[in-house]
Structure 1
Amino acid sequence: MMTSEEPTVPAEFSGPALSMPALSMPAWVDREAYPFTSKWFDLPDGRMHYIDEGEGDILLFAHGNPSWSFEYRHLIRHFSSTHRCIALDYLGFGLSDKPPHLSYLPQFHSANLGRFIEGLDLKNITLVFQDWGGPIALSYAVANPSRVSRIIASNSWFFDVREYPAVRRFSHIIGSAFGRMLCKHLNLFPRVLLKASFGDSSRLGPEVHAQYLAPFPTAAERKGTWVFPRAIVGESSWLAEIWARRHTLKDRPTLLIWGMKDPGCTPLLPRWTEVFTDHRLITLDDVGHNVAEEAGRHLIGPIASFLSDRSPS
């Protein structure tokens, strides 16, 4: 697993660490939409929540910011009848512990993902990810390619993105001290930026939106939502390390599902098609950044076709 020294992240998101008693579920979780059995994986810095549904070849779902395993609920409900669907919440997100003293840098999350994969001895994995799930999952995968059989990617990156003006501006603005204040005190990312990133914001109804707001009830629990945008540019060297080892995965069957109403990630798509020699591309002209949430059940058909055609040997 690639590692790099973690630079200091401001510790102003202070307050007591909050965690759920074992096997409990917060009252705000919509159990009709999210009917899965919760499990926890013990990490050095806290307990990571995950779900593990079904049997068969593994689909491992890695979320972005400010998301959690809830965003993949439609895919998990469908594919758990034919596959083993595993979706985790990084520390600082979803139903996992949120200790305020942690860095929450992407390499921290990737190291925890590696501990999780190896702790459960997961093999023959199809990685499913979007946003920061890309570099977090691929940082582990390029160092451990024998565990990965296929890739399903949406609106993500795993390389230095400083050459892309829109992405660079977003990182500088939201990753600034002012952005930190907005994330900490106003819960900016799930409250405002999540909805703004949709191609059609009406697709994020109030009931579903509430499931993304509720994991961050206090300032102390919102640190991770600010660290991620700062890291887009701040962790460029780490991202470049992943890109430098891209050859280890270039022949993996890959499905690219891209929301084209995403001004940040749409220009990044050619880099993906350049790397993966055995890829299938689906573009969604009216979908924005959060493809799994916005397109939902419409992804089932294309993903089922890909899984059927690209079955691991």
Structure 2
Amino acid sequence: MNWRDYQARQRVVELGHRFISYVDEGRGAPLVLLHGIPTWGFLWSGLLSALSMTHRVLIPDLLGYGYSDRRDDFDRSIARQAEALDAWMDRLGVMDATVVGHDIGGGVAQHLAVRFPRRVSRLCLMNSICFDSWPIELMMQLGHPGVARRLSARAVQRALRMALKRTGFATAPPDGVLDGLLAPYATEVGKTSLVRNAAALNTNQTQELVPRLGHMAVPTRVVWGVDDVFQPVKWGERLAWEIPGAKLVRVANAKHFVMWDQPHAVMTALFEFLEREERPRLEGGLDVPSVQGPLI
């Protein structure tokens, strides 16, 4: 699936004066997949078909990312993203879900599990930010306000492509994947929004969760590409140690984008986790009016 086909599957739901674009496919227990920076929901496109055979798969673009609201008038921090997703799930009638978070999406997932525990029936953290493991130097540079003024969208795209291709993947990514991951940020509007997203990265917002990780009661799986240079595996080991009952699955020959480097291993780990008995849930299912396809 190319990124344009993926975008055409997106729906839009309004949350007050903001909106979230998302994919909603399949039937069964809800499964929410959260992307990181500098990506969007397309990150999960390679797993969508298989996962939607057994689950209702919900993939939002975080606020300011992808094709969600990119206006310049809201807080993009991971704490506010969690609040927005709580409202989004409520709007869709999803009482709770298995939540899988990659990169900063993992930080958002941690906030959901700690602050909105009713929303998270199971938690999977995949090469996730945590503790004071972030922001990485690349994102700190991207988040400087001067970047939006000095560099064109094309220049930012070129720098990100080079960095992600060189250090984000264990092998060359499949054709079109890197273009797809960065597609929403190819315009000046997209570039400026991405810079704002990077400026909002704040290690304090995972550090504040540390005292509460040991009290989490949600079943947790930590899946990690062991060759990641952005979020080294030592952070996954610490997460698995801090969260009660968490199990760490190390994925060999995989870097940060583990779901593209080793999709079979990731699917195996996810299905093994998902097939385990879940805690009792209330089934949700309100039909929400939505707009099909891109908003722009």
Same fold, TM-score > 0.5, yes or no: yes
Count of residues in Structure 1 that have an aligned counterpart in Structure 2: 276
Q: Is the 8 A contact 2:3 2:42 kept in 1?
A: no
Q: Is the 8 A contact 1:69 1:87 kept in 2?
A: yes
Residue 76 of structure 2 corresponds to residue 109 of structure 1:
no
SS of equivalent residue, structure 2 residue 121:
strand
SS of equivalent residue, structure 2 residue 223:
strand
Distance 1:245 1:115 in 2: 22
Distance 1:211 1:46 in 2: 24
Which of 164, 188, 194 is equivalent to 1:194?
A: 164
Distance 1:138 1:59 in 2: 15
**Deviation, structure 1 residue 108:** 3.0
Residue in structure 2 matched with residue 64 of structure 1 by the alignment: 36
**Deviation, structure 1 residue 35:** 8.4
- Structure 2 unaligned regions, length at least 5: 281-296
Written as runs of structure 1 = structure 2, the 5 A alignment for 1:167-182 is 169-170=137-138, 172-176=140-144, 181-182=150-151
Residue 195 of structure 2 corresponds to residue 219 of structure 1:
no
TM-score normalised by length of structure 2 = 0.81
Distance 1:169 1:54 in 2: 38
Distance 2:103 2:152 in 1: 18
**Deviation, structure 1 residue 77:** 0.9
Residue in structure 2 matched with residue 209 of structure 1 by the alignment: 178
Letter in 1 for 2:205: W
Residue in structure 2 matched with residue 4 of structure 1 by the alignment: none
Residue 222 of structure 2 corresponds to residue 256 of structure 1:
yes
TM-score normalised by length of structure 1 = 0.77
Distance 1:54 1:73 in 2: 14
Distance 1:247 1:224 in 2: 35
Written as runs of structure 1 = structure 2, the 5 A alignment for 1:276-291 is 276-291=243-258
**Deviation, structure 1 residue 198:** 2.3
Distance 1:183 1:61 in 2: 31
Q: Is the 8 A contact 1:273 1:279 kept in 2?
A: yes
Written as runs of structure 1 = structure 2, the 5 A alignment for 1:129-208 is 129-161=101-133, 169-170=137-138, 172-176=140-144, 181-182=150-151, 186-188=155-157, 190-205=160-175, 207-208=176-177
Letter in 2 for 1:311: E
- Structure 1 unaligned regions, length at least 5: 1-27
Distance 1:208 1:171 in 2: 20
Written as runs of structure 1 = structure 2, the 5 A alignment for 1:27-66 is 29-31=3-5, 34=6, 37-66=9-38
Identity %, equivalent residues: 24
1:222-272 CA-to-partner distances (Å, cap 9, x unmatched) read 23433444444xx233322222322442x3222211011112312312221
Letter in 2 for 1:110: A
Residue 47 of structure 2 corresponds to residue 78 of structure 1:
no
Which consecutive aligned stretches of 4+ in structure 1 deviate over 6 angstroms post-superposition?
Answer: none
Q: Is the 8 A contact 1:51 1:88 kept in 2?
A: yes
Letter in 2 for 1:192: M
Which of 264, 271, 288 is equivalent to 1:304?
A: 271
RCO comparison, higher one (Cα < 8 Å, 6+) = 2
Residue in structure 1 matched with residue 240 of structure 2 by the alignment: 273
SS of equivalent residue, structure 2 residue 19:
strand
